[in-house]
Copies of this chain bind each other. A is one copy, B any other.
Amino acid sequence: MSESILSRAISHSPSTSPATWREALESAKGVPESFELLKVLVFKPRTAKNVTPVPVIVIAREETETSSAALGKKLNLKDLRLATEDLIVEFFGVNKDAISPLSLSAATFPKVLTVLDGSLASASGPVAVHANSDKETVFLHGQEIVTYIQSLETAETKITEVDFAALKADATANAPLKEAAPPQAKTATVAKKEDAKIEGAVQIAVGIQKELDFPGWYTNVLIKSDMLDYYSVSGCYILKPWSYSIWEAIQAWFDAKIKEMGVENAYFPLFVSAKVLEKEKDHVEGFAPEVAWVTRAGNTDLEEPIAIRPTSETVMYPYYAKWIQSHRDLPFRLNQWNSVVRWEFKNPQPFLRTREFLWQEGHTAHLTKEGAGEEVLQILDLYRRVYEELLAVPVIPGIKSEKEKFAGGLYTTTIEGFIPTTGRGIQAGTSHCLGQNFSKMFNIVVEDPNAGTGESSSKIFVWQNSWGLSTRTIGVMVMVHGDNKGLVLPPRVASIQVVIVPCGVTAKTSDELRKRIPDECDALAKKLKKAGIKARADLREGYTPGYKFNDWELKGVPIRLEIGPADLDKEQTLSVRRDTGEKAPIKMANVVEDVGKLLETIQTDMFQKAKATYESRIKIVYDWKDFVPTLDNKCVVIMPWCEVEACEDDIKERSGKPALGEQVDERAPSAGAKSLAFPLDQSKYPKIEAGKTKCPACGRDAKRWMLFGRSY
């Protein structure tokens, strides 16, 4: 039967999550107007190491909440965790993006525990089922799927049918931290999109739990909140206004700050000739594998291929050599806001690793090492403030190890962020001192102003810095603050800080009130805007308040204000915080002041909460045996370190193998821990005693405290 089913499969672009699967299907041919996706999850219970695990395969409707905690409890299995890719391939012969009931066969069925969603049989519309491939889908009715699985049952091995709705009610205590927004039927939405407003609500739910499928949650939040769309060139994404406006807020703040410092903006070309690009050896080695080359214009092959800048050191510095003629020209500071291209072949991820990204790159030249060093830290502190004061994301300023520093530079300072859900560190912005390496390559020299006036004039190669902050900022912010309802935007970067929704209108509401309520919402929006608060009244007709609530929650607007008939009577509005869900009435008499204060409170609270989380996940490690368990526990390690590169390589190697069966986020580049940064503030940690404090990894003498972690 499996073959006859497979013959009905349609082809589409590859999918790696429910969101991309749906998207791929929507642009493919021969797809029904409405359908739901079949959810197939594979879990592995905790078992003793020498015991072969029995994976649990859960086959459920898309909207069914399949809490692993509740399921584990019911099945009496300990610590159900999503299985690794390896385990899935080992048992089913397909990867996690291809698995489906059709992956079960007479041979595999007995080796696993098959859990069937009791409601599946009742799915009457078409259900999309992977045809043993992430690029092929077959549409079946719920009952067809059930029948196929039942055909595999033997006397020894039966299906376990579970009523997940009942299970949920029982198991609230064991549920994960947060539940997804209440799922609703997803069928029939396409056909009714134009006028079916309530049904529309399901389109805007995130649909994937942050804790269960973080990469899936992330891309889903980005797409559904209107931040981003996928693009037809792989690894490139569209920044829609909802995310681009955050970049504009960052630009406005940072641009003003660097201009105060005397930095000027300029624009250098997108292209760089091979000859120039390859001038600095270490530098080009760092970037060459990712450089995109233009070789043709129209129908004409270019005489020489031309590179698209991966960064602009070699674009700019030949001209710095020309323009900087005297020590009076120093410090010389230029910045540009542009895009750069790094054609990575690793798995791309929106904002975090993309083939083209937006950033600013500052390039400065100084007379002395001290002058350069001072600026490096000034800029690093501005980067810290972008994260902490605008994005409410805590970061740790520090210095990179020799291995992790910028290719061709002298030293790299960094701010290191942290993604609690995965326990991974993330490089959030870097400010490099390039030393004199580039000035020697490009011959950027001035006369020494302090040299004697004797015959032999003395040339000084300038000291250079470069520093960059990219749209990665936005991705980090989403990952840190977002929840199962969607984005949570810090007020200072939200392009809408307050949304005002008219409520409480029923069939019985008088015509006068029907008009007055939206009028009041509109007036309030105008009043707030006049006071500099970015407010919008959502007066869309044909949408319920509930739809609007969900919509703006998904988009992360910091405050919702509701105005209904009772509020008018009491001369108040009900405020709802996006970050905490907290509700409180606000008197209209004080509304401007109170809303302003509440925005500040939200900004502060979001930062403090994220900071407390980050701090709670930094663990001091003195003993190697604690190193990997700390990482596995979604924490980063701070430890006294020897600063030997071989030790760093060794740490990466030794921490790179996840525990068998542990979920691996395949889009994360490194399973092994890397050194993240020597925190600038070393005084927070116990004093390192020369000759006494040892490196836990290799036993050599430790020198400074270093943060280690799995990272993006």
Q: What are the interface flags for A155-194 relative to B under an 8 Å C-beta threshold, 1 for contact and 0 otherwise? A: 0000000000000000000000000000000000000011
Residue from the list B244, B265, B268, B297 in contact with A343, Cβ < 8 A: B297
Interface of A is mostly: mixed
B-contacting 9-mer, from A230-238, A373-381, A666-674? A230-238
Q: Give the chain B neighbours of A238 by CB distance below 8 A.
A: 266-269, 319
Q: What are the interface flags for A354-367 relative to B under an 8 Å C-beta threshold, 1 for contact and 0 otherwise? A: 01101000000000
Asked if A298 and B306 make an inter-chain contact with CB atoms under 8 angstroms apart, the answer reads no
Asked if A334 and B241 make an inter-chain contact with CB atoms under 8 angstroms apart, the answer reads yes
Q: What are the interface flags for A226-248 relative to B under an 8 Å C-beta threshold, 1 for contact and 0 otherwise? A: 00010111001111110011011
Contact A276 to B244, CB < 8 A, known contacts A238-B266, A291-B297, A296-B292:
no
A16 at the interface (CB under 8 A from B): no
A290 at the interface (CB under 8 A from B): yes
Q: Give the chain B neighbours of A266 by CB distance below 8 A.
A: 238-241, 244
A264 at the interface (CB under 8 A from B): yes
Q: What are the interface flags for A264-289 relative to B under an 8 Å C-beta threshold, 1 for contact and 0 otherwise? A: 11111111110110000000000011
How many Å from the CB of A21 to the closest CB on chain B? 16
Asked if B271 and A233 make an inter-chain contact with CB atoms under 8 angstroms apart, the answer reads yes
Q: Give the chain B neighbours of A265 by CB distance below 8 A.
A: 241, 244-245, 248
The complex places the Cα of A355 from the Cα of B298 at a distance, in Å, of 13
A458 at the interface (CB under 8 A from B): no
Q: Give the chain B neighbours of A275 by CB distance below 8 A.
A: 232
How many Å from the CB of A77 to the closest CB on chain B? 42
Copies of this chain assembled into the complex: 2
Q: A residues 625-654 with Cβ under 8 Å of B? A: none
Tell me the nearest residue of chain B to A298, going by C-beta: B289
A5 at the interface (CB under 8 A from B): no
How many Å from the CB of A264 to the closest CB on chain B? 4
Q: Give the chain B neighbours of A231 by CB distance below 8 A.
A: 268-269
Q: What are the interface flags for A328-353 relative to B under an 8 Å C-beta threshold, 1 for contact and 0 otherwise? A: 10000010001101010100000000
The complex places the Cα of A276 from the Cα of B311 at a distance, in Å, of 28
A683 at the interface (CB under 8 A from B): no
The complex places the Cα of A306 from the Cα of B265 at a distance, in Å, of 30
How many Å from the CB of A326 to the closest CB on chain B? 6
Q: Give the chain B neighbours of A290 by CB distance below 8 A.
A: 297-298
Residue from the list B237, B264, B271, B338 in contact with A236, Cβ < 8 A: B271
Contact A294 to B269, CB < 8 A, known contacts A325-B193, A334-B241:
no
A295 at the interface (CB under 8 A from B): yes
Asked if A295 and B298 make an inter-chain contact with CB atoms under 8 angstroms apart, the answer reads no
Tell me the nearest residue of chain B to A248, going by C-beta: B265
How many Å from the CB of A315 to the closest CB on chain B? 8
How many Å from the CB of A265 to the closest CB on chain B? 5
Q: A residues 398-435 with Cβ under 8 Å of B? A: none
Q: Give the chain B neighbours of A605 by CB distance below 8 A.
A: none
Contact A288 to B292, CB < 8 A, known contacts A269-B356, A447-B194:
no
Q: Give the chain B neighbours of A319 by CB distance below 8 A.
A: 229, 238
Tell me the nearest residue of chain B to A236, going by C-beta: B269
Asked if A241 and B269 make an inter-chain contact with CB atoms under 8 angstroms apart, the answer reads no
Asked if A194 and B326 make an inter-chain contact with CB atoms under 8 angstroms apart, the answer reads yes
Asked if B292 and A294 make an inter-chain contact with CB atoms under 8 angstroms apart, the answer reads yes
Asked if A341 and B295 make an inter-chain contact with CB atoms under 8 angstroms apart, the answer reads no
Q: What are the interface flags for A526-546 relative to B under an 8 Å C-beta threshold, 1 for contact and 0 otherwise? A: 000000000000001000000
How many Å from the CB of A329 to the closest CB on chain B? 11
Q: Give the chain B neighbours of A547 by CB distance below 8 A.
A: none
Residue from the list B244, B298, B345 in contact with A291, Cβ < 8 A: B298
Tell me the nearest residue of chain B to A247, going by C-beta: B267
Tell me the nearest residue of chain B to A239, going by C-beta: B267
* Interface size bracket, A side: 35 or more
Q: Give the chain B neighbours of A306 by CB distance below 8 A.
A: 233
The complex places the Cα of A291 from the Cα of B302 at a distance, in Å, of 12
How many Å from the CB of A709 to the closest CB on chain B? 28
Tell me the nearest residue of chain B to A275, going by C-beta: B232
Q: Give the chain B neighbours of A592 by CB distance below 8 A.
A: none
Asked if B289 and A299 make an inter-chain contact with CB atoms under 8 angstroms apart, the answer reads yes
The complex places the Cα of A341 from the Cα of B294 at a distance, in Å, of 11
Contact A296 to B295, CB < 8 A, known contacts A232-B276, A233-B306, A265-B245:
yes
Q: What are the interface flags for A254-271 relative to B under an 8 Å C-beta threshold, 1 for contact and 0 otherwise? A: 000000000011111111
Q: Give the chain B neighbours of A298 by CB distance below 8 A.
A: 288-291, 343, 345
How many Å from the CB of A683 to the closest CB on chain B? 40
Q: Give the chain B neighbours of A297 by CB distance below 8 A.
A: 290-293, 343, 345
A596 at the interface (CB under 8 A from B): no
| Residue from the set A265, A288, A297, A345 with the largest chain B CB neighbour count within 10 Å | A297
Asked if B291 and A264 make an inter-chain contact with CB atoms under 8 angstroms apart, the answer reads no
A53 at the interface (CB under 8 A from B): no
Asked if B232 and A318 make an inter-chain contact with CB atoms under 8 angstroms apart, the answer reads yes
How many Å from the CB of A126 to the closest CB on chain B? 22
Tell me the nearest residue of chain B to A270, going by C-beta: B356
How many Å from the CB of A613 to the closest CB on chain B? 31
A699 at the interface (CB under 8 A from B): no
Asked if B267 and A233 make an inter-chain contact with CB atoms under 8 angstroms apart, the answer reads no
A308 at the interface (CB under 8 A from B): yes
A305 at the interface (CB under 8 A from B): yes
Tell me the nearest residue of chain B to A264, going by C-beta: B241
Q: Give the chain B neighbours of A447 by CB distance below 8 A.
A: 194
List the 3 closest pairs (A to B, CB-CB), nearest first. Answer: A297-B343, A241-B264, A236-B269
A-B contact list, 27 entries, CB within 8 Å: A193-B326, A229-B323, A231-B269, A232-B273, A232-B275, A232-B276, A237-B269, A238-B319, A239-B268, A240-B266, A241-B264, A241-B334, A245-B265, A247-B267, A248-B265, A269-B356, A270-B341, A270-B356, A288-B298, A291-B297, A292-B297, A293-B294, A293-B297, A294-B295, A294-B308, A298-B343, A328-B540
